Structure 1
Amino acid sequence: MIDNDLLVIGAPDVEAALSGREHDIMDAVQKAYETHSRGASSLPHSSFLRFPDSDKDRIICLPAYLGDDYQLAGVKWIASVPGNVPKGIERASAVMILNDRETGRPTTVLEGSIVSKQRTAASAALASKVLAPGAPETIGFVGCGPINVAVAKFLQAAWPNTKKLLAFDLDPARAQAFGEDIGPFFNNADFTIAASLEELMAASPMVAFATTAINPYIDNLDSSPENATILHVSLRDLKPGAILPNHNIVDDLDHVCRAGTSIFLTAEETGNRDFVHSSLGDILLGNKPVPERDGRPIVFSPFGLGVLDLAVADLVQESVAERKAGTNVASFLP
C-alpha cells in the first residue's frame, strides 16, 4: 500500500535530534563528501532567486541526491535576508523536502536552517582537522553571527584544548554577544575582541570567516602565521591576491566557482582554475595529498553542498523515528 502521509519535523525536534552530536554530524558530513567524490551523487547547481530592489537578499534552492548507503533525494529552500538581524530575526530561514527514491513521492518536510547551520559548521571543523598542521592555540572568528557561533561549537569539539579566541565584527556589540554565546563551549579559553581585522589575522593560526560580505575586502594573507588554516565559509571575503598565492581547497570546484565567490573572481582574473589544489573529498579519499606545509596558508572555500544537508537530515530522521517525534499529516498526498 502506498503511504499518503507526510511527516513534518519542526525546529524543536530538529534541535533535539542534533544537540550534542557534533562528532556524529562531522562523521555524516565526511561520509557525504566521500560519497560525492566517488561520484555516487547527483548535485545540480544551486538556483539563486534575487530581487531587483536588493543586492543582498536572496533565496537559494539546493536540490541533491545522495546514493550508496543513503539513497536520499531532496531539496533545501533557504532564504538569506541580512536586514532581518536588526529586527531581532535570524538572517537565514529554510525548509527541506525529502523524497522517496523509488517513488519520488515527498515523505518528510523539516525545518532546514538548523540543518544548514550544523552542516556548514561541521564542514568547516572537518576541514580544519584534515588541513591544519596541528592543534591551534588561537582561533580567530571574523563575523560574529549565528554561523560562526555554530562553527565555534564544532571547532571546540575538534580542538578542545584551544587556549585563546579572538573575534572581530563591524558591530562591537555583536562581537561582545558572540563571546558570551561561545563561552560555554570554550570554558578554558580566553576570549578577546580584536581591535582590528589585521590584529586578528596576525595572531590567529586558524581563522573562520562567516560574514555577509558580497564584495571581497582582504587584499592578501601576508600577515597570517605560517601554515595558517583559513576557513573561508562566507566565500566572498578574500580578493584574488589573497587566493592566488596560497593553497586552495574547495568542496566542489564546479559549484564554488560561480556566484561571485572569491574562487570565481580569481578564476576570472587568471583565466583558469589551476590555483585550486583539490576538493576536500578527494583528500579524504586519499586521491590527493594535503598541500605541502611550506609556510603558505591553506584556504578552505566551501560553497555548501546539498548532499551535506541530506546527510544531516538523515540523522534527524533517524532520531525522530526512534523518539516517535514529529507531526504526521495523514493523507497529505492524493
Structure 2
Amino acid sequence: MYTAGGGSMDSKVEFLFLNEEDMIKAGVLDADRAVDTVGEVITLLSEGDYLMGGRAHNDHGVQLIFPEKSDIPNFPLADSADRRFMAMPAYLGGRFHMCGEKWYGSNGNNRSIGLPRSILMMMLNDVETGKPLAYMSGNLLSSMRTGAMPGLAAKLLARDDSKVLTLVGPGVICRSSLRAIMSQRFDIDTIKIKGSSPTSANAIKMKEYIEENYPQVKNIVLCRDMEEALKDADIITEAVSCKEGEWPEYKREWLKPGALVISTSTFNMEHKSIVDLKKVIDNYGMYENYAEEDNVGYDENGNRLHTGCMGEDFVYMVQDGLIERDSLTTFGEIIRGKKPGRESDDEIILVSIEGMPTEDVAWAYECYTYALVHDIGTKLKVWDRPYAF
C-alpha cells in the first residue's frame, strides 16, 4: 500500500518459496502453456519491452570464470567437467512487468554423486520496490522454458504433415523439447534418437519415456550416426552436451526438403552450404554479444572457425559477407506478421534458440501466480519492519 507521497505504509516483506514438488503442482511441466508463454515473450522482445544484462541489454548472463591454475590452496579451478556459476537477470514488460534472476552452479562431476549437472534457483522481484516476491526451484522451470522454444518453432515453422521427429542429444532438455513439440504436432508417429551410441543410457531412457507417454508413436529408432538420424526427418531438435569443439556435424545432403532444424546448444555445419536456407533466430543482439566476446578467427584455409552456436555462426556469416542481416528472421517478426514463416513445403529452415532469462521470468511468473491462487508453497518472512531504515 502506497501513500499519496509515494511512501509505503506496509513495511512487511515476505516471499513465496516453491520447492520442486510445489513447482510441479503449479504447472511447471505444462508444455502447451509454456509454448504459449514463450510466444508472448518473443513478441515483447520484438517490441523492445524487455531488458537483459549489459549495456546493450542483451547479455545472456554473467559467469564466474575459474582459472586454469592457482597458487592458493583449494582454490576452485576450471576443468573439463563444466564447472561454472552464472547469474541471469532480466526484466520483462507487458502483462508480466516483472524482474527476475536465475542463478545456477554447474559441474559435470555432479552426476557421479547423484546430482544433476546444474542446480538452479529462480527469484522474482517487484519492479518498483525491489521486494522479493518468489524464490523457487529452477531446474524444471529452466528445462521447460528451453524446450518450449522448439515447441514454438514446430508450431510456427514445421510442415503441417510432419510425422518424423529426430532428437539429437537425448538428455533433459531434449525431453522437454519433445514434450513441447508433441503438444503442438499431433501426427508425429516416428521418433529417431541419436545419443552417444544406440545403447547409451540416455538413448535407452528416452526410448522408454516415449513408449510410456506417447503410445501414438509407432516407430522409435536408435540411430548409429548423424546421417541416419537426420535423413527423412521432418523436425530435428538438438540439445547436445559435449566438450568445446566436439559439436555434432550436420551436412546439407542429409536434410530432406522441408526439414526444420532446431538448435538449442551445439551445431556445426559448413557456412557456405547453408547460405540459401531460411534462418530464424530468437534474439540477434544476444548473438552479436557472443560474437564480440568470442571473436573467433579462421582456419589455415581461410574458413571461419565454428563456434558451436548456430546464431553466433549466423552473425559471422553476416560479417563475412555470406548473407545479409535482413535475410535473418526473428520469431517476433513472424508472430507479429512482419515476415513470413514457412513459405513452401520444400523449404529447409534452420532455427537458433539459445535461451534467455526473459523466458525464465515469464514462466516463473506463470507458476508463481498459479501457486498464489491455489495456495501452493510456503511464505517466508524477510522482516515485519526493517531494522535499518
TM-score, length-normalised on structure 2?
0.79
Partner Cα distance (2:318, 2:92) in 1: 33
In structure 1, the residue matched to 2:253 is 222
Q: CA offsets, 1:24-53, max 9 Å, x none? A: 221111111111211111122122323332
* Secondary structure of the structure 2 residue equivalent to 1:222: helix
Counterparts of residues 247-258 of structure 1 (less than 5 Å): 247-257=278-288, 258=290
Paired with 2:357 and 2:28, the residues of 1 have a C-alpha distance of: 21
Paired residue type of 1:31? E
1:173 pairs with one of 197, 201, 206 = 201
CA gap 1:316/1:19 in 2 versus in 1, 3 angstroms: closer
Tell me, yes or no, if the aligned pair for 2:250 and 2:267 is still in contact at 8 Å.
no
SS of the residue corresponding to residue 177 of structure 1 reads: helix
CA 1:270–1:322 in structure 2 vs 1: closer, same or farther (change >3 Å)? Answer: closer
Contact 1:116/1:309, CA 8 A, preserved across alignment: yes
Letter in 1 for 2:227: E
Q: What are the Cα deviations for residues 125-179 of structure 1, in whole angstroms up to 9, with x where unaligned?
A: 0111101122311100000111111111111111122111110110422201111
Q: Decide whether aligned partners of structure 1 residues 64 and 169 sit closer, same or farther in structure 2, where only a CA change above 3 A counts.
A: same
Deviates more, 1:142-151 or 1:318-327: 318-327
Deviations 1:187-220 (A, max 9, x none): 1212120122110101211111011133334153
User: What is residue 159 of structure 1 aligned with on the other side?
Assistant: 185
Structure 2 equivalent of residue 268 of structure 1: 316
Match of 1:42 among 51, 59, 64: 51
User: How many pairs align?
Assistant: 334
Do the aligned residues in 1 keep the contact of 2:84 with 2:105 (CA within 8 Å)? yes
1:32 is aligned, of 24, 29, 41, to: 41
Residue range with higher mean Cα deviation, 91-100 or 283-292: 283-292
Given residue 282 of structure 1, which amino acid in structure 2 is its aligned partner?
Answer: E
TM-score (norm: length of structure 1)? 0.92
| TM-superposed deviation, 1:266 | 4.7
Q: Give the C-alpha shift of residue 83 in structure 1.
A: 3.2
Unaligned runs of 5+ in 1: none
CA RMSD of aligned residues (A): 2.2
> Which stretch shows the higher mean deviation, 33-42 or 15-24?
15-24
Match of 1:51 among 66, 72, 75: 66
Rounded to whole Å, the distance in 1 between the matches of 2:371 and 2:268 is 38
Secondary structure of the residue aligned to 2:379 is: strand
Amino acid at match of 1:137: K
Q: State the alpha-carbon separation in 1 of the partners of residues 227 and 313 from structure 2.
A: 23
Distance 1:129 1:210 in 2: 19
In 2, the alpha carbon distance for the partners of 1:237 and 1:185 equals 31
- The one-letter code of the counterpart of 2:206 is F
TM-superposition CA deviations, 1:80-133 (whole Å, max 9, x none):
433333443222221111111111122211111211111111111011110112
SS of the residue corresponding to residue 231 of structure 1 reads strand
Secondary structure, counterpart of 2:253 in structure 1? coil
Q: Given residue 234 of structure 2, which amino acid in structure 1 is its aligned partner?
A: P
Judge conservation of contact 2:38–2:362 (CA < 8 Å) in 1. Answer: yes
- Amino acid across the alignment from 1:47: V
Amino acid in the other structure paired with 1:49: L
CA distance in 2, matches of 1:244, 1:12: 46
Instruction: Work out the CA distance in 1 between the residues paired with 2:155 and 2:177.
Output: 13
Question: Structure 1 residues 223 and 198, CA, compared in 2 at 3 Å: closer, same or farther?
Answer: same
Shift of 1:285: 0.9
1:313 to 336, 341, 364: 364
Distance in 2, Cα, partners of 1:219 & 1:203: 14
Amino acid at match of 1:271: Q
Percent identical:
22
More moved, 39-48 vs 54-63: 54-63
Alignment of 1:93-172 (within 5 A): 93-171=119-197, 172=200
- Measure the CA separation in 1 of the matches of 2:270 and 2:113: 31
Per-residue CA deviation, residues 277-322 of structure 1 (Å, 9 max, x unaligned), is 2111121111121254373521111121111111111111112112
- Following the alignment from structure 1 to structure 2, what is the Cα–Cα distance between the partners of residues 294 and 191? 25
Q: In the alignment, is residue 184 of structure 1 matched against residue 212 of structure 2?
A: yes
Q: CA deviation at 1:184?
A: 2.8
Bigger CA drift: 284-293 or 299-308? 284-293
Q: Which letter maps to 1:150?
A: S
Q: Distance in 2 between matches of 1:82 and 1:246?
A: 35
Q: Which residue of 2 aligns with 1:92?
A: 118
Q: Distance in 1 between matches of 2:272 and 2:64?
A: 30
Q: Determine the C-alpha separation between the residues in 2 that align with 1:305 and 1:102.
A: 22
Q: Distance in 2 between the 1:289 and 1:140 partners?
A: 25
| Contact 1:203–1:225, Cα closer than 8 Å, also in 2 | yes
